Structure 1
Amino acid sequence: MRCIVRKYGFAAFTCFIWAGTVQGQNNLKGWHLKDLQQDGFYGISITNAYTFLKDKKSTPVIVAVIDSGVDTTQEDLKAILWHNPKEIPGNGIDDDGNGYVDDVYGWNFLGNKDGNNLKKASDEKTRLYHRYKNKFSGTSINEDSLPGTEKATYELWAKAAKEMSANSEEQAELMFVEMALKALKKHEKTLQDAMGKTEFTCEQLEKFQPATSPVKAAKLGYLTSLKLFGFEGDDSNTLILSQLSEYAEGKKESLEARDVPPPDYREKVIKDDYYNINDRFYGNADVMGPNPLHGTHVSGIIAADRTNNVGTEGVADNVRIMMVRAIPDGDEYDKDVALAIKYAVDNGARVINMSFGKAFSPEKKWVDEAVQYAETKDVLIVHAAGNESTNLDENDNFPNADLQEFGKRADNFITVGASSDPHIGDGKLIADFSNYGKTNVDIFAPGVKIYSTLPGKSEYGFLKGTSMASPVVTGVAALIRSYYPDLSARQVKYAIEKSAAPCVDSTIRIIKPGTKEAVPMATLCETGGMINAFAALQIAATLQPEIKEKKKIVLPKATFKNSKPTK
């Protein structure tokens, strides 16, 4: 599931797009790139970074974005998108013989050869529960008598079954959202007639002066509801109602799922042999997909064109974005994630951004093997920590660096929490929605009120989430790999983590996300600080390339053999 919003978590839903501001919208555009000493913002000091890099040469770096899709026509992304040099666009032939026809910009693992695309998926908890319900439900299970693998499966199913039980709080949330939706739609119609337009933003509505009492009441009711849900001043009525409707629909489906299995959207569209990891040449070349908002925003944060003087600027200046579509609305599938990582590695990606996550991973073995495969090929993976205000040292979030299949932690994996700034919203330095963990979160990066590209030729906007923090780190990693190409993924991770800057203002209290408790920053992540691009580059400049030991590289056992597609 894309990490800017947990569709089945009401509190986290408000973390999708609201970051009420003390300063104006324009003042906050690009705040995440600024410098604390020079600009007064807890950004990543990108201007100082590029001053440090002046007169140094860079080489292009391919960055894979595993996400929902990307708008290939966006003005700030067109020039920085990866093009497969071995593929002839649109000829219907697999020119490079990699099994993926016309993969010019990347690949879409959520489609079929007829051009149809999967937009929606149920959550993994529900899929897991119904997968084993007939086997385990209503029977007396002696766990100690089960074989090792079956015992693990039962324990996973039992955990899912426990969480499937709908509680009164969730039912109340759904009822509240449905009532609010009904009221908002009524207010919207009144306001559209009075304003003489079908689409308007909250900002425009605030400036609008109603002439009658009914319209005044509609304006007050509309804005009050939006503040409660946490929408932005520049969000349109169509976006707001769409997001609320989608949330309500997902919540309703989730509450009904214990008794009624949700539709198997995958079976209807993709039609692969899901439980066979070697059935991997499915999908299509449509990297945009039906809903590219998330992937477009993430891609812009990493590398929006820094030379065209329009829109916004990404972190890295010599990047080619490879889009691998594998994240639907709902929980992603382990198989798609594993194959997306494999595709990215095999096609030259040096850094992979993964702004998604979920609480269950029944095929974690496949994803672990993919991460290990990336490690053997010296590819760095950057992953969003998630938006549940929870401690990842105590709660699961997948994928992660714990490679159970190999009995080790991945050296090429960075998990990123979301930081903020005292000038933004509630003034907290750590985003209240962000997950954290002294062991399982490596570093924090700006993830609130982040301005970047949106679908449309010249569309831009603010979003927030650890989904936005992860590509900030990915951008810095790409910058290092571009200017210091001989450094290993492990060294790039080292430079990034050593750059971590703690809060220097003793008057700013670090509040544990989801609480009012003040804590030391060191308790929230392994590095105890926030990324700084300038410092990371300074550290990278001091490192010598690692001497590669002459030893046998351990590759995944069977999953990722260099097999060719069957003709």
Structure 2
Amino acid sequence: MKKSLSALLGVSLLVFGLTLGAESSYAESSTNSNVKKATQQLNPTIQIPASKVKKKEKNLFSGSSKKETRRGKITEADAKRGYIKDEIIVKFKTNKSLSSLGDKIKVKGLKLNKTLDKKLGIQTLKFDTNVSTMKEILKVLNASSAVEYAEPNYIYKPAAVSEPYYQYMWGLKNTGQYIDGAAGKKGIDINAESAWVKTKGSASTTVAVIDTGVDIYHPDLKDNIWKKPGEIAGDGIDNDRNGYIDDVNGWDFYYDDDEVYYDEEYDAHGTHVAGTIGAKENSTGVIGVAPNVKIMSLKFIGPDGGSTDGAIAAINYAKSKGVKVSNNSWGGGEYSQALYDVIKSSNSTFIAAAGNDGDNIDSYPAYPAAYDLPNIVSLAAIDNQGNLGDFSNYGSKNVDVAAPGVSVLSTIPENSYAYGDGTSMAAPHVTGVASLVLAANPSFSSAQLKDTLMKSTTKLSSLTGKVASGGLVNAGLAVSADIDGEIPGVSLNGNSISSTLNASTDKDDVYSVKLTKGEKFTVSLSGAAGTDFDLYLYN
């Protein structure tokens, strides 16, 4: 027997601050993109003319041969296979470890490679491929009483495709301007200008770009790159003793070094994503959805993709720095329990591209977007007419919202700009909006942030039955909406949540929770002397 419970807190004008105590693979193809000089003068509040746009076709989203001197862990053969041939990810049961496997360690050539999450007990092991195949080793380990689960170290790739070029950043403001000879539809955008009246983001909000690298020297990005307090660049010392030497702007988990930007072609994808999120308003180039935020570059994707353990390490790095939102424009591999567990425990909102196979991922799941976790916001891509991109995955259950993802103009390395298509390009629009919402509501939990993004969308008939919200993300509504004051309320998915009310701007908070018969639900209210408040329970 389960019942739904909604709690509404009502507060009179006597209250100023009242505290309530109380989440199929898609390895995207990389094809040549089309780029075009963008010299047209645009509204300066939306986009500054691009000062340097690539004039020839180039592959924005693939690797480069320039890094041959720095060998990554993933081989071309691994990339084709979909996982690293001699590595497995294992979660041991409580009080169990590698030694608990006994003779299997020696027989299978098992040895510890690295500990990915000490608290969750997740590790990467290596094994002797001359002794066992991947299938055999997984069968043995998953049958062991010491192991909770064992799985391959899957490989992920950027969720981007390259389509025709476009002239304007229509995703921020669509006036019906012509894009590649066809008129857009006025209002099919994220309503950025309305949001910017209230906030353009905060420098105290750091967004993790978990991707390829980011050109931290790009004129539109350099002033918004996250810098780690207390870390001294180039001294060769792990100043804060976190295991990463000189991690001033983030870390490269593919090559395991501090070089978050190295190559013009290899790091184009992450740079394009970063520009859509947070390109600075500086009278040059483009502008991001949240032009005042800080970008943390966490590379885990190399020329041949990125691995599960690299993704896990990046997510945990962001968690250790208190990052509340991350952009994840990548996917591939099968269901990974380890990745699921780490995303769930990340204490952040995980923005995930749905993928570019044109599939319904309710029926053919694409991960990580299709993980059933309350802190994942997955998204589809639309064009400037409001139609779902013909490449975009969708799903009324596993895809939450839609965002501009066709012909998106953004930054690429070496002071340049280019257009790109894909759910990779849609994701940073949502991440940018999430950053604006956090700037306006810094105490928001991941549940509140997700509810806000989903309940403030612009409803489009083209998205009915395609995404759970049925709508296009709307920045203006999201930063101004009092989502947590509406019935049926913000879903409570964790063990507890706290919030602050305000007599003028936030008089009510509503939460909903499913309880099994016999479970207890506790609410504590506190305020200054003379505080007046009311607690209502429904159902």
1:443 aligns with 2:401: yes
Alpha-carbon distance, 1:543 to partner: 5.1
Q: Rate the CA distance shift 1:78–1:14 in 2: closer, same or farther, 3 A.
A: closer
Map 1:462-473 → 2, pairs under 5 A: 462-473=419-430
Alpha-carbon distance, 1:2 to partner: 7.0
1:528 aligns with 2:497: no
2:286 to 300, 303, 312: 312
Q: TM-score, normalised by structure 1?
A: 0.55
What is the aligned-residue identity percentage? Answer: 34
Preserved contact between residue 158 and residue 331 of structure 2 (Cα < 8 Å) = no
Q: Distance in 1 between matches of 2:423 and 2:285?
A: 22
Q: Which amino acid aligns with 1:295?
A: G
Instruction: Look up the SS of the partner of 1:33 in the other structure.
Output: coil
Q: Mark the runs of 5 or more structure 1 residues left unpaired by the alignment.
A: 112-282, 403-408, 423-427, 505-509, 511-520, 554-567
Any idea what the Cα deviations from partners look like across 1:206-252, whole Å, max 9, x if unmatched?
xxxxxxxxxxxxxxxxxxxxxxxxxxxxxxxxxxxxxxxxxxxxxxx
Q: Rate the CA distance shift 1:87–1:15 in 2: closer, same or farther, 3 A.
A: closer
Q: Rate the CA distance shift 1:91–1:15 in 2: closer, same or farther, 3 A.
A: closer
Any idea what the Cα deviations from partners look like across 1:256-307, whole Å, max 9, x if unmatched?
xxxxxxxxxxxxxxxxxxxxxxxxxxx110111441100000000000002x
Q: Distance in 2 between matches of 1:337 and 1:15?
A: 17
Alpha-carbon distance, 1:488 to partner: 1.1
Counterpart of 2:196? 50
Q: Distance in 1 between matches of 2:365 and 2:283?
A: 42
Q: Which amino acid aligns with 2:431?
A: T
Q: Distance in 2 between matches of 1:84 and 1:93?
A: 14
Counterpart of 2:66? none
Q: Rate the CA distance shift 1:86–1:459 in 2: closer, same or farther, 3 A.
A: same
Map 1:150-169 → 2, pairs under 5 A: none
Counterpart of 2:57? none
Q: Which amino acid aligns with 1:341?
A: I
1:389 to 339, 358, 362: 358
Q: Which amino acid aligns with 1:450?
A: V
Q: Rate the CA distance shift 1:548–1:44 in 2: closer, same or farther, 3 A.
A: closer
Counterpart of 2:375? 412
Q: Distance in 1 between matches of 2:303 and 2:494?
A: 44
Q: Rate the CA distance shift 1:541–1:440 in 2: closer, same or farther, 3 A.
A: closer
Q: Distance in 1 between matches of 2:169 and 2:485?
A: 30
Counterpart of 1:491? 448
Q: Which amino acid aligns with 2:443?
A: D
RMSD (CA atoms): 3.1
Q: Rate the CA distance shift 1:37–1:88 in 2: closer, same or farther, 3 A.
A: same
Q: Rate the CA distance shift 1:438–1:49 in 2: closer, same or farther, 3 A.
A: same
Q: Which amino acid aligns with 1:51?
A: V
Alpha-carbon distance, 1:350 to partner: 1.4
Alpha-carbon distance, 1:499 to partner: 1.6
Q: Rate the CA distance shift 1:469–1:103 in 2: closer, same or farther, 3 A.
A: same
Preserved contact between residue 2 and residue 327 of structure 1 (Cα < 8 Å) = no
Q: Distance in 1 between matches of 2:159 and 2:327?
A: 24
Map 1:13-162 → 2, pairs under 5 A: 16-19=161-164, 25-26=166-167, 29-35=168-174, 40-53=186-199, 58=202, 60-111=204-255
Preserved contact between residue 359 and residue 396 of structure 1 (Cα < 8 Å) = no
Alpha-carbon distance, 1:4 to partner: 7.3
Q: Which amino acid aligns with 1:417?
A: A
Counterpart of 2:258? 285
1:333 aligns with 2:333: no
Higher strand share: 2
Counterpart of 2:10? none
Q: Which amino acid aligns with 1:16?
A: V
Map 1:171-186 → 2, pairs under 5 A: none
Instruction: Look up the SS of the partner of 2:257 in the other structure.
Output: coil
Q: What is the total number of aligned residue pairs between the two structures? A: 338
Preserved contact between residue 353 and residue 381 of structure 1 (Cα < 8 Å) = yes
Counterpart of 1:537? 479
Q: Rate the CA distance shift 1:552–1:531 in 2: closer, same or farther, 3 A.
A: closer
Map 1:185-204 → 2, pairs under 5 A: none
Preserved contact between residue 158 and residue 211 of structure 2 (Cα < 8 Å) = no
Alpha-carbon distance, 1:84 to partner: 0.7
Q: Distance in 1 between matches of 2:471 and 2:330?
A: 22
Q: Rate the CA distance shift 1:4–1:542 in 2: closer, same or farther, 3 A.
A: farther
1:429 aligns with 2:351: no
1:342 to 300, 316, 321: 316
Alpha-carbon distance, 1:540 to partner: 4.8
Q: Rate the CA distance shift 1:2–1:320 in 2: closer, same or farther, 3 A.
A: farther
Any idea what the Cα deviations from partners look like across 1:483-532, whole Å, max 9, x if unmatched?
2101111111111111221237xxxxx4xxxxxxxxxx221111111111
Q: Which amino acid aligns with 2:312?
A: A
Q: Mark the runs of 5 or more structure 2 residues left unpaired by the alignment.
A: 1-25, 32-61, 63-79, 81-156, 178-184, 498-539
Q: Rate the CA distance shift 1:546–1:385 in 2: closer, same or farther, 3 A.
A: closer
Higher helix share: 1
Q: Distance in 1 between matches of 2:197 and 2:448?
A: 22
Q: Distance in 2 between matches of 1:366 and 1:549?
A: 20
Q: Rate the CA distance shift 1:13–1:101 in 2: closer, same or farther, 3 A.
A: closer
Q: Which amino acid aligns with 1:332?
A: G
Preserved contact between residue 82 and residue 322 of structure 1 (Cα < 8 Å) = yes
Q: Which amino acid aligns with 2:390?
A: D
